[in-house]
Amino acid sequence: MNISKQITFIGSIGLASLLIFTGCSKQLYPTQKDFKQYHMSDAIQADPAVVSIYEPFKQKMEAEMNRVIGHAEKALTKEKTAETLMGNFFCEALLWMSEHSAHNPADLAFATKGGIRNDLKAGNITVGHIFEVMPFENSLTIIELKGSQIRQLADYIAMTHGQPIAGMTLTIMGSKAQDIKIKGQPIDDNKLYKLATYDYLANGGDNLTLLTRAVSRVNYPQRMREGLIAYVNELTKAGKPVNAELDGRIKIN
């Protein structure tokens, strides 16, 4: 039997590996499967040799996560209301990133409530807090949409009872958006607008397939949490707190 033609590794079950010899007419299978389950508990003592390897990295990581980068005078929360303090802060940060990180200023910014994973409590803001807000590997994305497409996005915001935005205002009437304005001006269906968001949404996440039909798209390497950290650092350098206000950018009639 010549087994030198091709060997395909299919996988492993317990300690027994399953091999199929595709160059032969005969298939071989394991006759015995060995399996043992190990239970982890506090009764198992840490191996000092292993601890000595990872402990320096653990201490360095904890020091970075606990590093204070800003201060919030009040909690920025993400309730289920149409407009939230956390949503406003997040999207204002997106606009800042488009200008200062991407050097490609956007007209408006958009996120989803589900994508912002945590509140920011009043008090010191650490790097770890920002990781809790955006733990994913999502990166900054700027797309161009026609005004008519922005109108569809506004209807999505209305149907989902409000989502985080900046640079745009609208009024929700039932499941439709009315009185849509970009930078204070009525929306022009034929004009192109730059929208700052992140790659997950630009890829159609959260049922936003309309964003995949953008006129143009530019992806940036900066992770969202990196951009948020940079934004908070900039506020702190300017002597400003981490803050947001409810300004009526989304109204409900």
Residue 191: CATH number of its domain: 3.90.780.10
Tracing tokens 């990133």 back to the chain, one arrives at 97
As a whole number, mean pLDDT of residues 205-221 equals 97
Neighbours of 246 (CB within 10 A): 13
pLDDT of 103-120, one tens digit each?
A: 999 999 999 999 999 999
Find out whether 131 and 66 touch, Cβ atoms under 8 Å.
no
Sign of CA pseudo-dihedral 169, 172, 175, 177: negative
**What pLDDT is attached to residue 202?**
98
Q: For strands 108-110 and 192-198, give the pairing.
A: parallel
What are the CA-CA distances from residue 180 to residues 20, 28, 35, 121, 141 (Å)?
A: 62, 67, 62, 32, 23
For residues 51 and 217, the model is more confident at 217
Provide the number of structural domains found in the chain. Answer: 1
**What pLDDT is attached to residue 72?**
98
Asked, for residue 16, whether it belongs to a domain, the answer is no
User: Where is average pLDDT lowest: 7-21, 80-94, 99-113, 238-252?
Assistant: 7-21
Asked, for residue 152, whether it belongs to a domain, the answer is yes
Tokens linked to 53:
């390897």
**What pLDDT is attached to residue 5?**
39
Torsion, Cα 124 238 83 226, to 10 degrees, reads -70
**What pLDDT is attached to residue 231?**
98
Asked, for residue 37, whether it belongs to a domain, the answer is no
The total number of residues shown for the chain amounts to 253
Asked, for residue 18, whether it belongs to a domain, the answer is no
Asked, for residue 41, whether it belongs to a domain, the answer is no
**What pLDDT is attached to residue 12?**
38
Range of the domain at 102: 64-252
